[in-house]
Every structure is written in structure tokens, then in C-alpha cells.
Chain A
Amino acid sequence: MPAAQRSLIRPRIHHRDIRERLVEAFLFVCAASAVAVTTAIVVVLVYESAGFFERVSIVEFLTDTMWTPLFAEARYGILPLLCGTLLAAGVALVVAVPLGLTVALYLSEFAPVKVRESVKPFLELLEGVPTVVYGYFALLFVTPLLQSVIPDLPGFNVLSPGIVIGIMIVPYVGSVSEDAMRAVPNALREASYACGATRLQTTLRVVMPAAASGIAAAFVLGIARATGETMVVAIAAGQQPNLTLDPTEPAATITAYIVQVALGDLPHGSIGYQSIFAAGLVLLLITLLFNILAHLLRMRFREAY
């Protein structure tokens, strides 16, 4: 290429290079913001909780059985909130495990393609309903319904929001475990059919065990969701911290407590204000724990196939 032509091309290429670099830098900053957000979450929670733990000892926080930060005689034991949270998640799981598993088995192994394709959008829509609406449903539809079965059920209780959360997470749990079952190689199914097993026998004795860790991961993720669920319990479970394992009693969860405090007007920096960050930190740790567990289970599943 003659020198004269080359010098004509070069400036444009140079200009283009700069733009390329700028665009790439911009895109990278956007992607890196995910790291920044995670860091910010940890920093804010730890920073504000540090203020809380300067005034309240960790031992008291973890062992005291009363949670009354807003009372004159304040007690700071996270146990009642933790208990309420796990109780609600437990009730949700009792509903979601059999239902979600059946749905997943049915959709993955039994349902005709037409049924599957028309049901799945509905399940997705179910996931799209805002949680505050589920809260309304739990308080004003499910609770009265349950009261006709259990006459002395109080208007606020853990049972009703637990059931509603359970139904709410079925589409999620169902679709994740269905994915796990579909990942089971067809050769296993064919081998089972060749031995004369029926579809149900193949499903229960071959596909389900083969996908077991994937299904378990789905349910652990379901618990994580149920633990972080806020509005349903804030509306329908009552907001009294209550150290109980009886789902027919009212109780508060960690999330409901945060909402309750945020609704009141607490001054920035007060112990009540800091207490929601400490509670939030506990919540984050629990969900993180469940997510790591689910991740490990999934890894095991992936190793198998």
C-alpha cells in the first residue's frame, strides 16, 4: 500500500479505536456495578449492625428469648424472629414439597406436550402476582377459610401466610426440579421401560432418584425464597415476635419486623434503626447459607451427568 493512502486510512482507524475502548470501558463499568452492589450491601449491613452490636452483646442477641427493641424495657434476642421466619418457611415447605414435586414429575414425565405448553405460562403468571396481593389473599380469604376448619384460629397466624407462600413458590420449585428431571439421560428411562417398568415406576424409581440432588437444590432455593418473603407475613401473620413452634399462633418474621420498624418514623442512628440492619444481616446470612447449599447440591448433580 502506498504511503499516501495509508496515511489517509490511519486517522480513521485511530478514531475508531478510541470509540471501541470507550464503549468497552462503559460496558465493563456497568457489569462491574454488580460487584459494587454486593459490596455495598455487605458494607451497609455490617456498618450499621456494628453500631448495634456496640450496644448489644452478640451473646444476648443470639440467646435472649425476647425481641422488644421498641419497648421501654428493651430486649434484643433474635430467636423469636428467627423462629417465626423458619416456622413460616417450614409451613410453606410442607405445602410446596409434595405439590411442587408432583407438578414437576407430572410436567416432566407424564403431561402431553399440549398440556405442558399451556400450563407453564399460567405457572409463570402465578409467579408474577405481587406479594402484597398474596398477603391480602392470605389475610382475607385463606384465614377465614381455615377458621371454618380450625374454629379457634386467631385472625393473625403463621399457618395461613405459610400456606400461601407455599403455593407461591410451587411454580419456581416445580420448574427448577423439572429442569433437573429433564437433564436425566433418556437412556436410563429406556433401560427401565425395556425391563417392563411402567411410566410411574420409571418416574418414581429411576428418574426421581437420578435427579434427587437437583430436586433437593430446588427445594433449598424454595426455602431461601420463603425466608426472604416479606409482605405476605407482614400482612397476615401479625407482627408480634413470638417464640413458638405452633403455626396456629401469630408471630413475626425478620422481614415483618423490618417492615414494621420502617413504617414507624425512627430517627437515623437510634438503636431501633440499627436493629433492622442487624436483623437484615441475619436474614442475608440465612439466605446465603441456603444458596450455597443449593449450589453444592447442584454441583453434585452436574457431576453425575
Chain B
Amino acid sequence: MASISPSIAVEPTISGVTEIRSNVARRRRWDIVFAVVGFLATSVGVVTLLTLFVDLLMDGYHRLTPDFFLSFPSRRAAEAGILSAWVGTCLVMIVTAAIGVPVAVSAGIYLEEYAPRNWVTMLIEINVSNLAAVPSIVYGLLALGLFVYALGFGQSILSGGLTLALMIMPVVVVATREAVRAVPHTIREAAYAVGATRWQVTRDHVLPYSIPGIATGVIIGLARAIGETAPLITIGALTFIAYLPNAPITTTPPFVNFDWLWSGFTVLPIQMFNWVSRPGTAFHANAAAAGIVIVVLTLAMNGFAIYLRYRLRKRITW
């Protein structure tokens, strides 16, 4: 392009050539301008992420003491902590993972490996993609009507965990399907050829290969569940909890107990919300400190998932 030779032009005049050249140069300049604008627009996201994190750190870093993690919420800002909140988050996540992950992974496997092409399958697929688009607070309303009142689970860890399990299902189903689909057909055919049944093929060959991909989806789903606030507020999770549920593991036989499932709870993001929405600035430092904990937790999980997927892409050599 740079060497537009004058001989091509019908009647080359010096002024014509310079005109073309300046025209090309002008249009090229706009290319560069857009490349810069585009780069800046793209970095708005990165800048926001950094600003947000630095803002949280500046407001809340001084509150991140061991006491903060080991104290219950309190009326005095300086003594308040997130003990009941992080314990609640852990327990709710146990329920969510224990119920949501197996169901969602099974659903993904069914849709990819088993489902016949008929209207039932289509109905299920449409529903999965619709559920992904349902606002999280609507899951809260569902849980309030169904788990809390109709089934009588109350405003408990069990209700909370089930709510988030439903919410992350679409994410995990989609990730499972993608991971399973990426396994080449030759692997399945080889297994079928030596007489394996469909479940044997799935369990012994397809699943082991797709575990990293499924894990990526599961981690992203759980990270989303950890940060989710609205549906848990909707089912009536409390904002001020100054006790811990009974420990799931006990020292006396039978060593496990499930009382904690029925206990009231709060979680980290609700605790943060509670502190943010108090009038006055005394509690804002606490909110920021809780925010740091949540952001570090979710970003670490998301980062790990992204890393896992990146490695996966590099390593694939079928």
C-alpha cells in the first residue's frame, strides 16, 4: 500500500499523488486514533477493578485483624467481626455444593451423552437457558414461597443452600456440557468397540477427561454463590447473628450432626450489606474489610478457574 507507484495512475501529476498520499495518511491516522480509544475503553474495566480494590483496602485494611475474624457482630463498630458471617458462608456453601453440583453435572451429562433428540430434550434445554436469565432475586422469591413456607424449612442454612444451588445450576450445566462435548468421539467409539455400556463409557472415559472443564464451571458457579446477597436476604437470612450453629462434626458418636442445617444464619455479603447501609461512617470501615475478604475470596476462585481453563486449552493433545 505504501508504494503506490505513479505509473499506475492514468496521468500522474505531482499534486494528484500527494493528494492520494495525504488521504491515505489521514485515514491511517484515524485507525491509530481508534486503536488508542479502544485500548482506553478496554482498560476502563481494569482500572475500575483496581480502583475498587484500592478503595476497599484504604477504607478497611486497618480492620483486618485476627479479632475481626473471631468476633461476632456488635453494636460497637470497633468490636464487630465476621465470625458468624464466614461460618455461615462456609455452611451454606457446603449445602450448595453437595446438592447443586451433583444435580447440575448429572443434568449436563444427560443432555450431552444420553438425551435423544425430541421435544422433551428441547424443553429441558430451553428451560436451562431461561433459568440462566432469571434474575437472582427471583430465585429468592421462589425459595421464600417454596422452601421457607411450603416445605417448612424455615429461614435456615438448608433453605439458603438450596436457593443458591438452584441459582448456580445453569452455569454448571453449561460448563459440564461444553467439557463433555470437547471429548473426541474416537474415545467413546473405542470404548464401545470393546463392549462397554453407555454408562461405563461415560464414567470411565468421558468423565475423567472432562473433569478439569467441569471443575472450572463448578468453581465459577460457587464463586458466584459466595458473593450472592439478594436471594438470601429475600428468604429472610438474618443480618445480626451472635451465635454459631452446632458444629457439623462432634467428638461424641455418631460424630456428625445435621442440626446446623436448621439453624438461622448470615453470610459475608449480607453482613457487608448490613454495615454499608447503616447511617454514619463508623461501620463503613467494617464493610470495607468484609468487602476485602469477599473480593479476595471470589477473585481467587475466579482466577483459579480461568487459570485452569487456560492450562486446559494449552494441554489438549488428543
Contacts and interface: CB of A to CB of B under 8 A. Distances in A.
Contacts of A171: 45
Interface string B288-307: 10010011001101110010
Interface of A: 16, 19-20, 23-24, 26-28, 30-35, 37-38, 40-41, 44-45, 47-48, 98-99, 102-103, 105-107, 110-111, 115, 119, 121-126, 128-137, 139-141, 167, 170-171, 198-201, 203, 221, 224, 227-231, 234-235, 255, 258-259, 262-263, 265, 268, 276-277, 280, 283-284, 287-288, 291
Contact of A130 (B49, B110, B198, B269): B269
Interface in B127-166: 127-128, 130-131, 133-142, 144-146, 149-150, 166
A137 B273 contact: no
Given A107-B42, A137-B55, A132 B269 contact: yes
Contacts of A48: 141, 145
B52 A129 contact: yes
A255 B233 CA distance: 11
Contacts of A258: 137, 140-141, 230, 234
B49 A106 contact: no
B133 A287 contact: yes
Contacts of A30: 102-104, 106-107, 110
A35 B269 contact: no
B134 A284 contact: yes
A35 B127 contact: yes
B114 to A, nearest CB: 6
Interface in B208-238: 220, 223-224, 226-230, 233-236
B199 interface: yes
A263 B239 contact: yes
B272 A132 contact: yes
B242 interface: no
A263 B278 CA distance: 13
A132 B137 CA distance: 13
Nearest to B227: A130
Contacts of B282: none
B59 interface: yes
Contacts of A230: 135-137, 229-230
A224 B138 CA distance: 13
6 contacts: A33-B169, A122-B49, A131-B230, A133-B295, A198-B27, A262-B234
Interface in B265-285: 269, 272-273, 276-277, 284
B94 to A, nearest CB: 19
A253 to B, nearest CB: 10
Contact of B220 (A44, A128, A133, A200): A128
Given A27-B114, A106-B35, A198-B31, A99 B273 contact: no
B233 A137 contact: no
Nearest to B234: A262
A125 B299 contact: yes
B234 A111 contact: no
B229 to A, nearest CB: 5
Given A129-B295, A262-B140, A283-B135, A20 B227 contact: no
A15 B245 CA distance: 45
A44 B157 CA distance: 21
B280 to A, nearest CB: 12
A255 B137 contact: yes
Given A16-B197, A106-B39, A291-B133, A133 B146 contact: no
A37 B134 CA distance: 11
A244 to B, nearest CB: 22
B49 to A, nearest CB: 5
